């Protein structure tokens, strides 16, 4: 191959998309076993490659020269073949620093903790030192030289001002994972999670809910890829390229999530959005029916609302984990906090605010099967919908009007 990425598991990598947006050359994703890495590097059958987990340190002994910054960090993620000599670089440092700038997180003079001890942890450590952090602690399940465990973190370092997660906890497909809770950390001024799939991990969402500047690793991924491509080709891209690719990638990977009352048009508007954007639509109620093998009224009648809500949560998490789709939710899906968290990981939530007088009770919706029940649900849920939504959309118009209103916001 000419250009590409080597790593352990690459099925959900965004690197190919980013590099092929930058240049027309094919960029190959190549999964290797640990036993295959040395042979692949020795063969030198490439012009330039990127390296990801878990081989950022593994490749280093097989290179002819290593850039000073990469050697100091102890991690290489970019290798260039120049006439048979392999040179190693670390563009993650550039990407991580760019991410901090994008999020507006100033680490100068701050106490920081880094969760994890792998190659990306080393990069984060180098960046924090370079940017003037006053105190840095690495955290792992197994303590060692220069590394504390999580018990010590909670006992002695709840005054940390910056938290960086470099572990894979919370990464797709295990999106429920969370390396730590932010409860008790009262001095935080920034939280970074280098995971980029999902777009927002539970750790990032918890920080955002607390009003703490926070973000995932997608911008870092794009920034380091741009820098790597510059090293590949010995060129400099125009200012703004990183932001352009990042914005486009977020639009591609972020889902449109429709919330609102039964009969507010979520399924029909969702179907139209799917047509306009060429995306798949996922309906959480339909997923429940498919998984359970019976209708929702039958579930309510035979197993009760509690059972349905549990099944709905499983359906919501299944749909929410998919990026770049349209998700039409059931009317009560946002009543559970865990559902909201799942939907926010990859989605932007649009509340279809259709006036009560335009809503229609139907027998297939057990909690709003008549006008009285519908009115009661509307009164109870309206504040929940408005609080949950990223954007409130006037749902009184036609399907086309509502869909275009959502598109106008989503694509701006």
Instruction: Establish whether 30 is a catalytic residue.
Output: no
Q: Helix axis angle, 266-277 relative to 399-410, nearest 10°? A: 60
95, containing H or E segment: helix 92-103
pLDDT one digit per residue (tens) for the chain, 412 residues: 999 999 999 988 899 999 999 999 999 999 999 999 999 999 999 999 999 989 999 999 999 999 999 999 999 999 999 999 999 999 999 999 999 999 999 999 999 999 999 889 999 999 999 999 999 999 999 999 999 999 999 999 999 999 999 999 999 999 999 999 999 999 999 999 999 999 999 999 999 999 999 999 999 999 999 999 999 999 999 999 999 999 999 999 999 999 999 999 999 999 999 999 999 999 999 999 999 999 999 999 999 999 999 999 999 999 999 999 999 999 999 999 999 999 999 999 999 999 999 998 877 777 777 888 899 999 999 999 999 999 999 999 999 999 999 999 999 8
Distance, CA of 370 to chain centre: 40
Can you give the pTM of this predicted structure?
A: 0.93
Distance, CA of 298 to CA of 282 (rounded, Å)? 21
Residue 147 to residue 103: CA distance in whole angstroms:
27
Domains, the chain, ordered by start: 3-89+221-249 (3.40.50.10860), 94-216 (3.40.50.720), 254-410 (3.40.50.300)
Catalytic residue chosen out of the listed positions 2, 56, 253, 266: 56
pLDDT on residue 135:
97
Q: What is the pLDDT of residue 119?
A: 85
The pLDDT value recorded for residue 302 is 95
d(CA 57, CA 75): 5
Please answer whether residues 269 and 402 qualify as being in contact, where contact means their C-beta atoms are separated by less than 8 angstroms: yes
């Amino acid at each position: 191959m000419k250009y590409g990425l080597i790593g352990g598991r690459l099925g959900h990598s965004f690197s190919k998309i980013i590099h092929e947006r930058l240049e027309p050359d094919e960029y190959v994703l190549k999964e290797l076993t640990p036993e295959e890495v040395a042979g692949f590097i020795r063969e030198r059958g490439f012009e330039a490659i990127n390296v990801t987990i878990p081989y950022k340190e593994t490749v280093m002994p097989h290179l002819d020269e290593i850039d000073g910054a990469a050697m100091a960090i102890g991690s290489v993620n970019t290798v260039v073949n120049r006439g048979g000599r392999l040179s190693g670089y670390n563009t993650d440092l550039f990407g991580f620093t760019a991410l901090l700038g994008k999020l507006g997180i100033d680490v100068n003079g701050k106490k920081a903790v880094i969760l994890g001890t792998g190659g990306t942890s080393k990069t984060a450590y180098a960046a924090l030192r370079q940017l003037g952090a006053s105190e840095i602690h690495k955290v792992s399940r197994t303590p060692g030289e220069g590394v504390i465990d999580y018990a010590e973190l909670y006992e002695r370092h709840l005054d940390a001002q910056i938290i960086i997660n470099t572990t894979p906890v919370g990464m797709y497909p295990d999106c429920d994972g969370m390396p730590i809770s932010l409860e008790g950390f009262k001095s935080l001024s920034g939280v970074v999670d280098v995971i980029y799939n999902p777009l927002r991990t539970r750790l990032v969402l918890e920080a955002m809910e607390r009003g703490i500047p926070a973000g995932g690793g997608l911008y870092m991924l794009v920034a380091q890829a741009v820098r790597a491509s510059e090293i590949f080709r010995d060129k400099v891209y125009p200012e703004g390229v990183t932001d352009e690719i990042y914005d486009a990638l977020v639009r591609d990977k972020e889902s449109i999530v429709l919330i609102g009352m039964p009969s507010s048009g979520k399924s029909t508007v969702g179907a139209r959005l799917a047509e306009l954007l060429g995306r798949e639509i996922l309906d959480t109620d339909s997923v429940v029916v498919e998984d359970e093998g019976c209708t929702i009224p039958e579930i309510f009648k035979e197993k009760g609302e509690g059972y349905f809500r549990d099944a709905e949560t499983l359906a919501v998490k299944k749909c929410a984990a998919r990026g770049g789709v349209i998700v039409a939710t059931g009317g009560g899906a946002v009543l559970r906090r865990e559902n909201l968290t799942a939907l926010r990981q990859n989605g932007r939530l649009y509340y279809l605010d259709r006036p009560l007088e335009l809503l229609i009770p139907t027998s297939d919706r057990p909690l709003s099967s008549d006008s009285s029940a519908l009115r009661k649900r509307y009164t109870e849920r309206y504040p929940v919908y408005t609080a949950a939504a990223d954007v409130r959309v006037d749902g009184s118009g036609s399907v086309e009007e509502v869909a275009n209103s959502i598109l106008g916001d989503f694509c701006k």
